[in-house]
Chains A and B, each alone.
Chain A
Amino acid sequence: MKGITEFEEFARARVGPLYRTAWLLCGDRHHAEDLVQDTLANMLKVWGRIDTPEAYARTALVRTFVSQRRRRSWSERPTADLPEQVQASGDPDLRIALARALGELLPLDRAVLVLRYFEDRSVEQVALDLGKKPSAITTRTARALERLRAVLGDDAIHLIAL
């Protein structure tokens, strides 16, 4: 039976990728870390019954995000303090622009885009992940992209040219 040691090994190996997905969903490190922590904690609760931990973690992360935002158990933080100022590497301008733009989307739409374009999941897989029909995912994807274009405005040209 899988034990806590095995779980810790899994968690250490996956905490980085989970955090990056969580950051795209949440737009700031505090909530992203909370989301990862909640996801891993919930996984540990049923660890012995999970056959495919990586897939489970990804799906649980996104579902937890959507549910928590629906419940508004998190208070949205003002974005005056732009996210990830402490991050020394990467492209801070891109991070800020993308976080702002994604933050303008509905949580479910944000989740759809992250799963489709960051996690490279198919429409059918995203539908299963989020408990929606594939047609709904297609519609949401198109709507979310349109919204993203509108929010990014001129920034989109710059970002796409990167």
Chain B
Amino acid sequence: MSNLDSKLPELMRQATEDLEPESVDLVERSVAQGTRLRQRRSVLAGTAAGVAVLATVGVVVGTVQHFDGRADGGPMVAAPPTISTPAASTTPTVQTPPPSKAGGPTLATLKSLVQGPGRTLSLPETWGGAQDGFFGAGLVVDDGKGGSRIQVLLERHQGPASCAGEPGCKKRPDGSTIRSSSLIPEYSDDRQQEFGIVYNYVEITRKDGRQISATSYNGVSEKGTKHTRAVPILTVAQLTKLADDQAWKFPAKVTK
């Protein structure tokens, strides 16, 4: 058994030979998830939960220029936020995300737009901030028929808005663009049967580049919990109205 290390590469190669994803739409789902990622709560995107991960992992400084050599301080991909990158440092350091400074107003606006008679609001949360270049907020709205998580994310892109040939994107008369989807299953495997989460989604980019995306789920969270109602509380049309509201305050920083 002493030569396990020399045999391991071949063992791994043989074990994975011919393995292919069973989900034929894996790439499509990845693209769909990626395009709405900033709108969705991600504990690895510089949130408080991300800090908890850092504290647990105790990640040591690494230097991977191609990977996280970011100069603009914008939102980071899942893995990179866990590593800070002073090139010559040998001292373990942890880069903590900047505190959220604008989640409050975003959440307050969200609350004001979704509240109504017979509705209760719970589980509020915010993420992002001015330094991140995006403001995120979410909460659960219950109209007596079950809780529905609603999330928004506000960013500012370089204008003017453009669909750039993206399928499913439409240009509106006011120069803004809109992308939307309804009753999208959260999972592509048998967990969809188990949890039954679906969501409605709208992303509007105003003519000047201000972008807001809004999602409503038919459960209190996007993953890991069973759905609480048949359909999300807000339809695509209602999400569109919410996203078009002029009360939203967008970050000043342009996201590249």
Which one of A11, A63, A98 lies within 8 Å of B12 (CB-CB)?
A98
With an 8 A cutoff between CB atoms, is B26 at the interface? yes
Q: Give the chain A neighbours of B70 by CB distance below 8 A.
A: 49
Q: Which residues of A lie under 8 Å from residue B189 when comparing CB positions?
A: 30, 33
**B4 near A156: Cβ-Cβ < 8 Å:** yes
Chain A CB within 8 A of B245 CB: no
Cβ contact within 8 Å between B82 and A67: yes
Chain B: interface residue count, which band?
35 or more
B174 within 8 A of A: no
Give 1 or 0 for each of A77-104: 1 = CB within 8 Å of chain B CB: 0000000101101110011001100000
Report A-chain residues with C-beta under 8 Å of the C-beta of B165: 5
* A98–B7 alpha-carbon span in the complex (Å): 12
B1:A157 contact, CB within 8 angstroms: yes
Query: How long is the Cα–Cα vector from A21 to B238 in the complex, in angstroms?
Result: 42
Interface centre among B12, B53, B66 (most CB of A within 10 A): B12
Cβ of B60 < 8 Å from any Cβ of A? yes
Q: Does B29 make an interface contact (CB < 8 A)? A: yes
Q: Are A128 and B75 in contact (CB-based, < 8 A)? A: no
Q: Does more than half of chain A's interface fall in helix, strand or loop, or is it mixed? A: helix
Which listed segment binds A: B34-42, B104-112, B141-149, B210-218? B34-42
Within 8 A of B (CB), among A38-86: 38-52, 55-56, 59-60, 62-64, 66-67, 70-71, 73, 75, 84, 86
What are 27 A-B contacts with C-beta separation under 8 Å?
Answer: A11-B27, A11-B31, A16-B21, A33-B26, A37-B29, A40-B34, A41-B31, A41-B33, A42-B44, A44-B30, A44-B37, A46-B75, A51-B66, A56-B67, A59-B64, A63-B80, A84-B19, A86-B22, A91-B17, A94-B11, A120-B9, A128-B62, A129-B62, A145-B5, A148-B4, A156-B1, A160-B4
Q: Which residues of A contact B (CB under 8 A)?
A: 3-5, 7-8, 11-12, 15-16, 19-20, 23-24, 29-30, 32-33, 36-52, 55-56, 59-60, 62-64, 66-67, 70-71, 73, 75, 84, 86-87, 89-91, 94-95, 98-99, 113-114, 117-118, 120, 127-133, 136, 145, 148-149, 152, 156-157, 159-160, 162
